[in-house]
């Protein structure tokens, strides 16, 4: 009699939950008699109630996350390919490459292959295919009939300096569109290069006697000891070297009037300029300055 009661109890429990093991359902019982675990119909082993359903839900969630990530990566890849194609078309890479598929090594070779449009962008490989630096994008132009290379940076705009007292206390790193290795490869293969530098001063000096208050830094991190239009080691601006001013620079007169010292830096071993430093602009309103640095220009 006791055996019959137990049998009826188990069959009733399975029927009520809709998960009779006789029917071979494949999930744990969501509800069951107290103290009785659910049962996995696939292998007949007991499992904690709801475990399989939870695991399936987690796996489905992770699968959906992976699908979303994959879709996102695919879209990013398509966007990058499209941008690369636009850039290649813009710089004329396809039409400039020679029969072997190599870009030209210089703006001179660009001119020989396809001609140069006013300051258009072109891809060149200054040290040749398969060597050292990667190909780079530059501007090519004509000075008369001579092809020239122009390399831009982020300090070309006229910039105000104010409120810096100590020598070189204002500092601006010059960031080029290309890596320094690429820029130096262009400089090395060129017969000459130059870069224009200008400082407009109002009661602000470049040199105070033998003490520099403004200077620039060479490509390899050295503090330069000359200004535009003067020679390395001179400690002067152009006017000081030619005798057009009484001191080292026009700005060194330190008068309450606007003056300017400017000129080209043309010593190849020092170019390009990588940092600009200024000081003596703290005494408002009688001291101030503006600077600008031109593109690097190289000749074949």
Closest-CA residue to 291 (of 271, 274, 277) = 277
Cβ neighbours of residue 277 closer than 8 Å, sequence gap 6 or more: 168, 169, 170, 171, 172, 214, 215, 216, 217
Quote the CA–CA distance of 112 and 268 in Å, as a whole number.
Answer: 25
Q: What's the pTM value of the predicted model, to 2 decimals?
A: 0.67
Cβ neighbours of 74 (radius 10 Å):
10
Of the pLDDT bands very low, low, confident and very high (cuts 50, 70, 90), residue 75 is: low
pLDDT > 70 in the chain, percent: 71
Q: What is the mean predicted confidence (pLDDT) over 61-80? A: 65
Asked if 152 and 295 touch (Cβ cutoff 8 Å), the reply is yes
CA angle 228, 230, 236 (to 5 degrees): 95
pLDDT digits (tens, 9 = 90+) for 251-270: 998 788 999 999 999 999 99
Quote the CA–CA distance of 288 and 52 in Å, as a whole number.
Answer: 75
- Residues, the chain: 300
C-alpha Rg value of the chain to the nearest Å: 37
Please give the domain boundaries of the chain with CATH numbers for all domains. 107-150 (no CATH), 153-294 (2.60.120.1000)
pLDDT tops 60 at residue 32: no
Instruction: Give the per-residue pLDDT at 72.
Output: 60
Kindly report which listed range (22-31, 129-138, 215-224) carries the lowest average pLDDT score. Answer: 22-31
Higher local confidence (pLDDT), 204 or 21 = 204
**Preceding peptide of 13 cis, ω within 30°:** no
Question: And the tokens for 32?
Answer: 């069951």
pLDDT tops 80 at residue 126: yes
Q: What is the mean predicted confidence (pLDDT) over 13-32? A: 40
Quote the CA–CA distance of 96 and 117 in Å, as a whole number.
Answer: 13
pLDDT digits (tens, 9 = 90+) for 107-121: 999 999 988 887 789
Cβ neighbours of residue 18 closer than 8 Å, sequence gap 6 or more: 25
Instruction: Give the per-residue pLDDT at 71.
Output: 65
pLDDT digits (tens, 9 = 90+) for 34-45: 444 444 444 444
Cα 43 to chain centroid distance, Å, stands at: 58
pLDDT digits (tens, 9 = 90+) for 280-295: 999 878 899 999 999 9
* Element containing residue 108 per DSSP (H, E): helix 107-113
pLDDT tops 80 at residue 211: yes
pLDDT digits (tens, 9 = 90+) for 157-195: 999 999 999 999 999 999 999 999 999 999 999 999 999
Give first-to-last CA distance, the chain, whole Å.
110
Instruction: Give the per-residue pLDDT at 28.
Output: 44
Report the DSSP beta bridge partners of residue 194.
297
Closest-CA residue to 28 (of 65, 55, 58) = 55
Instruction: Give the per-residue pLDDT at 82.
Output: 57
Cβ neighbours of residue 193 closer than 8 Å, sequence gap 6 or more: 186, 187, 266, 268, 271, 272, 296, 297, 298, 299
Sign of the C-alpha dihedral computed for residues 71, 75, 80 and 82 taken in this order? positive
Instruction: Give the per-residue pLDDT at 10.
Output: 34
pLDDT tops 50 at residue 11: no
Higher local confidence (pLDDT), 241 or 131 = 241
Torsion of CA 118, 122, 124, 130, to 10 degrees: -170
Question: And the tokens for 80?
Answer: 């990058």
Instruction: Give the per-residue pLDDT at 50.
Output: 52
């Amino acid at each position: 009699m006791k055996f019959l009661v137990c049998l009826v109890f188990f069959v009733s429990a399975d029927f009520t939950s809709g998960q009779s093991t006789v029917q071979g359902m494949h999930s744990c019982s969501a509800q069951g008699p107290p103290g009785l675990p659910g049962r996995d119909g696939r292998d007949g082993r007991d499992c904690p109630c709801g475990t399989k359903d939870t695991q399936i839900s987690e796996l489905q969630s992770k699968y959906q996350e992976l699908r979303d990530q994959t879709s996102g990566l695919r879209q990013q890849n398509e966007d990058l390919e499209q941008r690369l194609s636009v850039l290649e078309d813009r710089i004329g890479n396809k039409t400039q490459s020679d029969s072997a598929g190599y870009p030209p090594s210089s703006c001179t070779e660009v001119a020989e292959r396809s001609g140069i449009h006013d300051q258009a962008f072109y891809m060149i490989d200054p040290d040749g295919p398969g060597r050292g630096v990667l190909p780079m994008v530059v501007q090519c132009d004509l000075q008369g009939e001579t092809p020239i290379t122009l390399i831009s940076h982020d300090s070309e705009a006229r910039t105000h300096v104010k409120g810096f007292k100590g020598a070189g206390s204002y500092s601006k790193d010059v960031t080029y569109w290309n890596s320094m290795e690429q820029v130096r490869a262009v400089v090395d293969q060129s017969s000459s290069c130059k870069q224009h530098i200008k400082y407009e001063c109002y009661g602000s000096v470049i040199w105070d006697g033998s003490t520099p208050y403004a200077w620039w830094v060479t490509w390899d991190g050295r503090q330069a000891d000359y200004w535009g239009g003067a020679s390395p080691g001179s400690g002067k601006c152009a006017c000081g070297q030619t005798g057009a001013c009484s001191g080292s620079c026009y700005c060194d007169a330190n008068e309450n009037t606007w003056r300017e010292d400017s000129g080209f830096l043309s010593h190849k071993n020092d170019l390009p300029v990588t940092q600009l430093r200024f000081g003596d602009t703290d005494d408002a309103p009688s001291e101030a300055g503006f600077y600008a640095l031109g593109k690097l220009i190289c000749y074949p």
